[in-house]
Amino acid sequence: MEFLKDFLIQEDPGESKIFPHLKCTREEAEILRYLTERYLKGEEEISVFTVLKELYGEENLLYLDKLNLIKQLLDLGWIQLGGFDSGKNGERTKLELLHREIGLSAPFLKLLEEGNLELRLPEIEPYNDHLDYLQDQFARIELYQKIATARQNYHGNSPTIGRLQKRLELLEERIRERLEVTEEPIEVERLFEEYELNGKEQILFLALLKEEYARNEGGMREMNSLIDLVSSDEYERIENRVLLEEGSKLVTHSLIDYEEMLTPFGGVSRSFFITEEVMQRIVYPERKRVRKRLKLQNLIKEQDIFELIEPKTTLDDVVLHPETRRTLEALLRQMDRKVAERLKRWGIKKRRGVEAKIIFYGPPGTGKTLTALSLAKSLKRPVLSFDCSKILSMYVGESEKNVRKIFDTFRDLSQKAKSEPLLLLNEADQFLSIRSQSPGNSADKMHNQMQNIFLEQIENFEGVLIATTNLLETIDPAFSRRFNYKIEFKRPNFKERIQLWEKMLPKEAEYEEGFDIERLAQYDLTGGQINLIIKNTAYRVAVKEVAIFTMEDFIEEIERERSGAFGDQRSMGFLK
């Protein structure tokens, strides 16, 4: 305790051995000495008022002028506030401090005991394995986090930040030196070299890797938290966002990925994670490399079952009944990766990724398919779509085999593809309908067998599946129980029909004077019907000498649609 005794014994604290490390005035050092004496007597915390009154008295309220000394010591990090908000030192005004409890900080106590704050590092030795290496790297990330927090608390430079940066420099130098004497390759370093990641990209990657190992629930996964690690000011925060954008090296090379989820305030947040393939490579470097995954566009050419759809619209583009929209937003929140990890930890679900089996039901033309595509866009997934009406057009006796083929092919494509797709089963009524209790002919038996196989495949399905159907009432209860979510799509009301007309009407066309959208919206039409009516009206108007849309043109097409003159044509959905 040489340095502690010296600090207390010296008549002038400015002559003590630790004073050069304090970077403060002699008067501030005197306050620290007073607090040290009280600490040795068992008082870990004491009110600011008591400290200043004891040292300066109450005459002429002189102690109020000394509040700035307390504020400076807080900013230097030698003392800390008591209570639960000790991390807010830099945000408080001086007068707010008067009746707060303060105590000596851990760094100051260490300085009293050891005489300096230098980080003592072991002798340079090679890394034994990747876990030994990651231990140093994760300690490095913790220092970056502390520096980011200190910048927010102190709104700029402070000795605390300087000390943390000094420790960081020492640790980074130690990591470099240990890597130089390590003969066995470290897989993370091979990744950095293979993809030519710069320093900031490496820090972001390591921060996410630390989250993966710690199984934290999103503490450092959000974009702003990650950007703060590599940014010293607001300008750099804006500049560094490109490191995590869609075209960034980390995302483009599938080293990391993210999920976009709705926030409680209606915005969209991104939660980043290390991709499964990269995690496997790091955790099991001795295993044979998994063959490179291919783009779905290339894989889809090898089969004739699915149509590949790259979603273009988000849920914000779709006109939905308010109740349906609320249900979908709740569904998105439940499909968040953090929720999935939590459920896996509780033993509720087996696999790590996002899973959901969903039924969209409602009348034709109410936007079920378009909403499914928009949901996939929000989840950043391509869509493999299968028209279930095709299954019955195949040879009798082959349908059961083809049901398995649908799911086997989907699994095969998912395993080979770079990004896991969403499975969309359109017009799934015949798969989901109530099975015959007493099948009287071979067709009934074949249909029941096909449904039993479909039921089995749904039960074992891993990933995100959406089935669309017109009537929920006809669904077999056994199927209904296999789906996590059943979401109804209602016919649009008057207000929603106005939005649909406004969205779908050609923007560059000319309309007659007095053209009244609200009058058109009086007709009880679905989004699919409105879309079809607009297209047919456009063909009619386009051949006129004077191509102007009139109310009469639309009303005639509406009447033809309502009378069934168009047959059974349907649009796959509708836009806002």
Are 193 and 245 part of one and the same domain?
Answer: yes
Q: Which of 158-172, 252-266, 477-491 is predicted least confidently?
A: 252-266
- For 70-90, b/e burial (b = at least 16 CB within 10 A) is bbbbbbbbbbbbeeeebeebb
Angle at alpha carbon of residue 492, lines to 488 and 496, rounded to 5°: 125
Q: Are residues 272 and 301 in the same domain?
A: no
Do the domain assignments include residue 571?
A: no
478 lies in the same domain as 519: no
pLDDT of residue 436: 64
pLDDT confidence bin for 353, thresholds 50/70/90 = low
Secondary element (H or E) of residue 255: none
Which residue has better confidence, 121 or 375? 375
In this predicted structure, the answer to whether residue 89 has a pLDDT above a threshold of 60 is no
pLDDT at 184: 86
Residues 212 and 330 in one domain: no
Are residue 420 and residue 510 in the same domain, yes or no?
A: no
Quote the percentage of the chain above a pLDDT of 70.
84
What pLDDT was estimated at residue 154?
61
Question: What mean pLDDT comes out for the span 534-540?
Answer: 94
Give percent above pLDDT 90 in the chain: 30
**Residue recorded with tokens 């030196």:** 177
How many domains in the chain? 4
Summarize the confidence of residues 79-83 as an average pLDDT: 79
Task: Assess whether pLDDT exceeds 50 at residue 171.
Answer: yes
Indicate whether 567 belongs to any domain. no
pLDDT at 351 over 70: no
Q: How confident is the model at residue 80 (pLDDT cuts 50, 70, 90)?
A: confident
Structural domain harbouring 237: 130-283
pTM over 0.85: no
- Domain CATH code at residue 9: 1.10.10
pLDDT score, position 571: 39
In a domain, 121, yes or no: no
- Residue 550: per-residue pLDDT: 93
Same domain, 333 and 477: yes
Higher pLDDT, 290 or 369: 369
Residues in the chain: 576
Q: How far apart are CA 75 and CA 151, in angstroms?
A: 11
Residues 97 and 156 grouped into a single domain: no
Mean of the per-residue pLDDT values for the chain? Answer: 82
354 Cβ partners below 8 Å, 6+ apart?
259, 335, 336, 337, 340, 379, 463, 464
Asked if the model's pLDDT at residue 319 lies above 80, the reply is: yes
Q: Of the spans 237-241, 331-335, 395-399, which averages the highest pLDDT?
A: 237-241
Same domain, 311 and 454: yes
Q: Which of 219, 250, 283 delimits the end of a domain?
A: 283
Contact 76, 24 (CB under 8 A): yes
Whether 331 and 450 map to the same domain: the answer is yes
Write down the pLDDT at residue 287. Answer: 63
Structure tokens at 534: 């607009």
Q: Which of 442, 469, 488 represents a domain boundary (last residue)? A: 488
User: Is residue 10 scored above 60 in pLDDT?
Assistant: yes
Using CA atoms, how far apart are residues 117 and 326, in angstroms rounded to an integer? 54
* Residue 314 CB neighbours (<10 A): 15
pLDDT of residue 264: 58
What's the confidence (pLDDT) of residue 394? 52
- Tens of pLDDT, residues 434-487: 666 666 666 677 778 878 888 888 888 888 999 998 877 777 787 778 888 888
CATH label of the domain that carries residue 446: 3.40.50.300
410 and 319 co-located in one domain: yes
- Whether 384 is in a domain gets the answer yes
Decide which of 76 and 25 is more confident: 25
500: domain CATH number? 1.10.8.60
Give the confidence band of 96 by pLDDT, cuts at 50, 70, 90: confident
In a domain, 258, yes or no: yes
574 lies in a domain? no
Is the confidence at residue 326, as pLDDT, over 90? no
Q: What's the average model confidence in pLDDT over 59-87? A: 79
Residue 205 has pLDDT above 60, yes or no: yes
pLDDT tens-digit series, residues 354-399: 678 999 998 888 899 999 999 888 888 889 998 887 766 554 556 6
Using one digit for the tens of pLDDT, what is the confidence trace for 482-526? 888 888 898 999 999 999 999 999 999 999 999 999 999 999 999
Reduce the DSSP state of residue 468 to 3 states and report it.
strand
Q: pLDDT band at residue 265, thresholds of 50, 70 and 90?
A: low
Buried b (16+ CB within 10 A) or exposed e, 384-415: bbbebeebeeeeeeebbebbeebbebbbebbe
Task: Give the whole-angstrom CA distance, residue 295 versus residue 424.
Answer: 19
Does 291 fall in a domain?
no
Query: Which of 234, 249, 283 delimits the end of a domain?
Result: 283
Provide the residue type at 371 as one letter. T
Q: Are residues 223 and 146 in the same domain?
A: yes
